[in-house]
Structure 1
Amino acid sequence: MKAITINRYGDKNVLEEQDVAFPVPTRDQVIIEVYAASVNPIDWNIRNGLFKEMLRFSFPIILGWDVAGKIVEVGSDVTNFQVGDAVFAKPALSPNGSYATYTAVNSNYLAKIPENLSFEEAASIPLAGLTAWESLVKLTNLQKGEKVLIHAGAGGVGSLAIQIAKSIGAYVVTTASQANEEYVKNLGADQVIDYRTEDFEQVLHDIDVVLDTIAGETLEKSCRVVKPGGRIVSILGNPDQTLADEYNIKVSGYWVFSSGFGDDLKQVAKLLANGKVKPQVGHVFDFTEENIRKAHELSESHHAKGKIVLKMK
Structure 2
Amino acid sequence: MEKRLMHAVQYNAYGGGSNALKHVEVPIPIPSKDEVLIKLEAASINPLDWKIQKGTLWPILPTKFPYIPCVDVAGEVMEVGKGVTKFKVGDKVVGSMSPFSGGGLAEFAVVKESVTVSRPPKMSASEFAGLPVAGITALQALSQSIGIKLDGSGERKNILITAASGGVGHYAVQLAKLGNTHVTATCGARNMELVKSLGADEVIDYKTPDGAALKSPSGKKYDAVIHCANDFPWSIFEPNLSMNGKVVDISPTPGSVMSFALKKLTFPKKQLVPLFLLPNCRDLQYLVDLVKQGKLTTVIDSKYPITKAEDGWARSIDGHATGKIIFEF
Q: Aligning the two structures, in what range does the TM-score lie when normalised by the shorter sequence? A: over 0.9
Check the 8 A contact 1:152/1:174 in 2, yes or no: yes
Q: Please give the per-residue CA displacement for 1:173-212, whole angstroms capped at 9, x wherever unaligned.
A: 1001111110100011100111101334362342111101
User: Alpha carbons of 1:208 and 1:115: their partners in 2 closer, same or farther (altered >3 Å)?
Assistant: farther
Q: Pick from 294, 306, 309: which aligns with 2:323?
A: 306
User: Alpha carbons of 1:115 and 1:229: their partners in 2 closer, same or farther (altered >3 Å)?
Assistant: farther
The residue matched to 2:60 in structure 1 has which SS?
A: helix
The residue matched to 2:88 in structure 1 has which SS?
A: coil
Size of the aligned set, in residue pairs, is: 308
Is 1:268 aligned to residue 268 of structure 2? no
The residue matched to 1:283 in structure 2 has which SS?
A: strand
Is 1:153 aligned to residue 171 of structure 2? no
Report deviation, 1:134: 0.8
Aligned residue in 2 for 1:223: 238
User: Alpha carbons of 1:115 and 1:188: their partners in 2 closer, same or farther (altered >3 Å)?
Assistant: farther
Instruction: For 1:285 and 1:83, locate their aligned partners in 2 and report how far apart those are by CA, in whole Å.
Output: 27
Is 1:90 aligned to residue 93 of structure 2? no
User: Alpha carbons of 1:272 and 1:77: their partners in 2 closer, same or farther (altered >3 Å)?
Assistant: same
Is 1:198 aligned to residue 217 of structure 2? no
Aligned residue in 2 for 1:39: 45
Q: Please give the per-residue CA displacement for 1:110-158, whole angstroms capped at 9, x wherever unaligned.
A: 1111356311111122211011011111121125421110000110110
Report deviation, 1:105: 0.6
Is 1:246 aligned to residue 246 of structure 2? no
Aligned residue in 2 for 1:175: 186
Report deviation, 1:271: 1.2
Stretch moving more, 244-253 or 17-26: 244-253
- Structure 1 residue runs of 5 or longer lacking an equivalent are none
Instruction: For 1:97 and 1:191, locate their aligned partners in 2 and report how far apart those are by CA, in whole Å.
Output: 39
Stretch moving more, 161-170 or 112-121: 112-121
Aligned residue in 2 for 1:102: 108
Is 1:129 aligned to residue 135 of structure 2? yes
Amino acid at match of 1:198: P
Identity of aligned residues (%): 31
Q: What is the root-mean-square deviation in Å for CA atoms of aligned residues?
A: 1.7
Q: Pick from 194, 212, 222: which aligns with 2:227?
A: 212
The residue matched to 2:184 in structure 1 has which SS?
A: strand
Instruction: For 1:178 and 1:123, locate their aligned partners in 2 and report how far apart those are by CA, in whole Å.
Output: 27
Q: Please give the per-residue CA displacement for 1:255-293, whole angstroms capped at 9, x wherever unaligned.
A: 22x4x51111011112111111111111000111xx211
Instruction: For 1:70 and 1:41, locate their aligned partners in 2 and report how far apart those are by CA, in whole Å.
Output: 25
Could you list the runs of 4 or more consecutive aligned residues of structure 1 that deviate by over 4 angstroms after TM superposition?
none
Check the 8 A contact 2:177/2:183 in 1, yes or no: yes
Aligned residue in 1 for 2:3: none
Aligned residue in 1 for 2:311: 294
Instruction: For 2:159 and 2:233, locate their aligned partners in 1 and report how far apart those are by CA, in whole Å.
Output: 15
Report deviation, 1:223: 3.2
Instruction: For 2:57 and 2:157, locate their aligned partners in 1 and report how far apart those are by CA, in whole Å.
Output: 36
Check the 8 A contact 1:60/1:95 in 2, yes or no: no
Instruction: For 1:73 and 1:28, locate their aligned partners in 2 and report how far apart those are by CA, in whole Å.
Output: 11
Stretch moving more, 208-217 or 299-308: 208-217
The residue matched to 2:138 in structure 1 has which SS?
A: helix
Instruction: For 1:7 and 1:61, locate their aligned partners in 2 and report how far apart those are by CA, in whole Å.
Output: 6
Amino acid at match of 1:87: V
Is 1:280 aligned to residue 286 of structure 2? no
Stretch moving more, 240-249 or 74-83: 240-249
User: Alpha carbons of 1:147 and 1:308: their partners in 2 closer, same or farther (altered >3 Å)?
Assistant: same
Larger relative contact order, structure 1 or 2 (CA cutoff 8 Å, min sep 6)? 1
Amino acid at match of 1:284: K
The residue matched to 2:178 in structure 1 has which SS?
A: helix
User: Alpha carbons of 1:207 and 1:25: their partners in 2 closer, same or farther (altered >3 Å)?
Assistant: same
Aligned residue in 1 for 2:9: 4
Aligned residue in 2 for 1:188: 199
Amino acid at match of 1:71: V
Query: TM-score scaled by structure 1?
Result: 0.93
Instruction: For 1:270 and 1:169, locate their aligned partners in 2 and report how far apart those are by CA, in whole Å.
Output: 20
Instruction: For 2:195 and 2:233, locate their aligned partners in 1 and report how far apart those are by CA, in whole Å.
Output: 19
Amino acid at match of 2:238: C
Q: Please give the per-residue CA displacement for 1:226-251, whole angstroms capped at 9, x wherever unaligned.
A: 21222221111144122344332233
Check the 8 A contact 2:305/2:327 in 1, yes or no: yes
Stretch moving more, 49-58 or 190-199: 49-58
